Amino acid sequence: MSNQVTTGKTPVIMQVLPNLGTGGAEQGCVDITAELTQAGATALVVSNGGPRIHDIARAGGTHIQMPVHSKNPLVMMQNVGKLKKLIQQYNVDIVHARSRAPAWSCFRACRGTAAKFMTTCHAPYNFDNGAKKLYNSSIARGERVIAVSRYLADYLQENYRLNHKRVRVIHRGLALEKFHPTAVTPERLIRLTKEWRVPDGASIIMLPGRLTRWKGYHVLIDAIAKLGRKDIFCVLIGADQGNTGYRLELEEAIRDNGLEGHVRITDRCDDMPAAYMLATVVISASTDPEGFGRVPIEAQAMGRPIIATDHGGARETIIRGETGWLIPPSDAQALSRAITEALSLDPTQRAILATRAMAHIANNFTKEKMGDETLNVYAELLEEKLTGTGKLHRKKQRNALNLKTAAE
């Protein structure tokens, strides 16, 4: 096994995140759990629970429930002791925190143990005082820090003086066997068309996300009103998560603009690949920069025209003028113009855009690529642990470090 480092045991990696819900961080955790299991490592996941616990089990991982979601200082300190016990019990090699509150507990829990500590930064965090900036800084304290975009890497280096040698940019990736036009059956499209009550012959404009102001739903409603067209049907997908005030504001805007029957808010969609296939145009109208943003890569993987705001991670996932449109944030007029352009594409132009977009995603944003690059970061830290040095040695191939049982 030349070019492989023998660990003497099966490597144990413990990922820690607040909850196992439906977000991008949670999906990444599930995907990496599967990659670790396939590579012969032991994958532990610590969270406060959630609907995706069963996905961790199916991926071959072990879930341990703990209130690591809490921002209560007392609970966070109690978590330090609990995490340290887990590190010792399972002989954990690497603790990988995916959020700020868990990162503080993990950072302290790793002290006095042989475990390496690393983090992933999924979003830029706002701060208006020193205390908030200090709290946010936990995500930058890893011996390696994964940023899910170059935008986030720059954010971390500028705001937390993070040495660039500790940063690894690893874009999120998709399961192309799920997000591909041929994976969606006609039956699924028919079922969703009936559920949404789509008018016959209407062009469908879709904005999926969480129903929060910064996702820009109100900007899209304004843009639809400016279009003045009756041949479109706009679907806003997103649960309000208790923010009923914003939903009521959107419903009022729909009424005031005479868009009843043309704009519909739906709390959720359990079949997003089918939703993308129904869409004529997909929108990501975030008013604030997103750390990455899954909607643009999902839309492109499905061969759909995507219009997104020109900041944050979208600049890295959309090729301007080739696979989609990038427009100024909070600019309903620019969004209206881009929608008009997208709707005016003829079948040949749509096919060319789809081919470019799907190839772009297949080459750059797959879960396999994300998995390989993440396992390479684990390999770096395992090598440092074995050699007792902090010297960086970037591996170029996933198999450069043996993540299987050393006895082999």
Read out DSSP for 220-247? HHHHHHHHT-SSEEEEEE---TT-HHHH
Residue 44 lies in a domain: yes
Query: 205 and 114, same structural domain?
Result: no
Residue 5 lies in a domain: no
- 4 falls in which pLDDT band (50, 70, 90)? very low
Q: Which residues fall within 8 angstroms of residue 346, CB to CB, at 6 or more apart?
A: none
Task: Please tell me the predicted confidence (pLDDT) of residue 400.
Answer: 40
Strands 42-47, 12-16: pairing is: parallel
Residue found under tokens 């009424």? 255
pTM confidence score = 0.89
What total number of domains does the chain contain? 2
Residue found under tokens 């890569």? 297
Query: 162 and 218, same structural domain?
Result: no
Query: 243 and 167, same structural domain?
Result: no
Longest dimension (CA), the chain: 70
For 289, the domain range is 181-364
pLDDT, the chain, mean: 91
Query: 77 and 146, same structural domain?
Result: yes
Residue 51 lies in a domain: yes
Task: Please tell me the predicted confidence (pLDDT) of residue 127.
Answer: 81
Query: 246 and 105, same structural domain?
Result: no
Residue 2 lies in a domain: no
Residue 189 lies in a domain: yes
- 408 falls in which pLDDT band (50, 70, 90)? very low
Encode pLDDT of 124-161 as tens digits: 988 878 888 999 999 999 999 999 999 999 999 999 98
Task: Please tell me the predicted confidence (pLDDT) of residue 390.
Answer: 52
Query: 331 and 254, same structural domain?
Result: yes
Phi and psi at residue 387, to the nearest 5°: -85, -15
Residue 359 belongs to domain with CATH number: 3.40.50.2000
Residue 6 lies in a domain: no
Query: 335 and 258, same structural domain?
Result: yes
Query: 161 and 204, same structural domain?
Result: no
The answer to whether 292 and 146 have CB atoms below 8 angstroms apart is no
Query: 244 and 128, same structural domain?
Result: no
Radius of gyration of the chain (CA): 22
Average pLDDT of the residues in 181-187: 96
Residue 404 has pLDDT above 90, yes or no: no
Query: 297 and 241, same structural domain?
Result: yes
Nearest to 29 by CA among 10, 42, 45: 45
Encode pLDDT of 250-286 as tens digits: 999 999 999 999 999 998 898 999 999 999 999 999 9
Residue 63 has pLDDT above 90, yes or no: yes
Query: 106 and 37, same structural domain?
Result: yes
The answer to whether 21 and 51 have CB atoms below 8 angstroms apart is yes
Give the helix/strand (H/E) hosting 308.
strand 306-309
* CA 175, 286, 141, 74 torsion-angle sign: negative
Residue 407 lies in a domain: no
Query: 192 and 322, same structural domain?
Result: yes
Q: Give the C-alpha separation, 35 to 48, whole Å.
A: 22
Residue 387 has pLDDT above 90, yes or no: no
Give the helix/strand (H/E) hosting 168.
strand 167-169
Task: Please tell me the predicted confidence (pLDDT) of residue 397.
Answer: 39
Residue 3 lies in a domain: no
Nearest to 211 by CA among 185, 188, 254, 242: 242
Nearest to 321 by CA among 357, 280, 292, 289: 357
Q: Give the C-alpha separation, 276 to 204, whole Å.
A: 10
The amino acid sitting at 78 is: Q
Task: Please tell me the predicted confidence (pLDDT) of residue 293.
Answer: 93
Q: How many CA atoms lie within 13 A of 380 on its CB side?
A: 23
